[in-house]
Amino acid sequence: MILDDGGGPGLRAANGMDWACVTDRVMGGVSTGRLTRRSVDGRPALHLTGAVSLANNGGFVQMALDLAAPGNVLDASGFSGLLVTLRGNGESYNIHLRSPDMTRVWQSWRASITAPDHWTETRIAFADFAPHRTDLPVNPARLSRIGLVAIGRKMQADLALARLELV
């Protein structure tokens, strides 16, 4: 199931929802970020750029996508995980999955990926996600949001996403 194929228009994903750029400024941090859809090395893609700062207890920049309309969930229990086509600046990034069962904004299921400086396809099994600040086991049947996140250390974010799908 394709969630985004890079085509747009604007920040609209193939699932009909809109991508958003979210930074730690929502909680007093000073990181900066920008999310655009443009051609990156000849491929249409979402492009997240910015500067992650740890000042003021901050530390993240992310591109986030709701996976279902408010009050609903995406049941991905028939899939084994995600396939992402991306390129970046050689840095490590996180993929965060959220469920409406999570009551705190810092709760998620997390997996790490490296974004090399060339286009690559990376598979991430749901079994590779680990609970973060939650006791909830990973539950692909109750997904509400996904984020690709530069987090936890001072860094320049430069991440392009050409395709995101459930596999």
Question: In the structure, what pLDDT confidence band is assigned to residue 62 with cuts at 50, 70 and 90?
Answer: very high
Whole-Å CA distances, 20 to 8, 80, 127:
13, 26, 26
Question: In the structure, what pLDDT confidence band is assigned to residue 8 with cuts at 50, 70 and 90?
Answer: confident
pLDDT at 45: 97
Using CA atoms of 144, 146, 151, 155 in order, give the dihedral in degrees to the nearest 10.
Answer: -150
The amino acid that residue 160 corresponds to is A
**Domain spanning 2-166, CATH class:** mainly beta
Please give the sequence-ordered ranges of beta strands (E in DSSP) within 41-154, or none if there are none: 43-52, 60-66, 81-87, 92-98, 108-114, 120-125, 130-132, 145-151
> What sign has the CA pseudo-torsion 109, 138, 163, 37?
negative
The amino acid that residue 57 corresponds to is N
Has residue 26 got a pLDDT over 90? no
Q: How far apart (Å, rounded) are the C-alpha atoms in residues 142 and 74?
A: 6
Q: How far apart (Å, rounded) are the C-alpha atoms in residues 120 and 87?
A: 6
Sorted by where each begins, the domain ranges of the chain are 2-166
Between 17-21, 26-30, 98-102, the lowest mean confidence (pLDDT) is in 26-30
- Are residues 27 and 58 in contact, defined by beta-carbon separation less than 8 angstroms? yes
> What sign has the CA pseudo-torsion 78, 85, 43, 8?
positive
Percent of the chain with pLDDT over 90: 93
Q: Which of 95, 125, 130 lies closest to 113 in space, CA to CA?
A: 95
Tokens 């069962």 correspond to what residue? 101
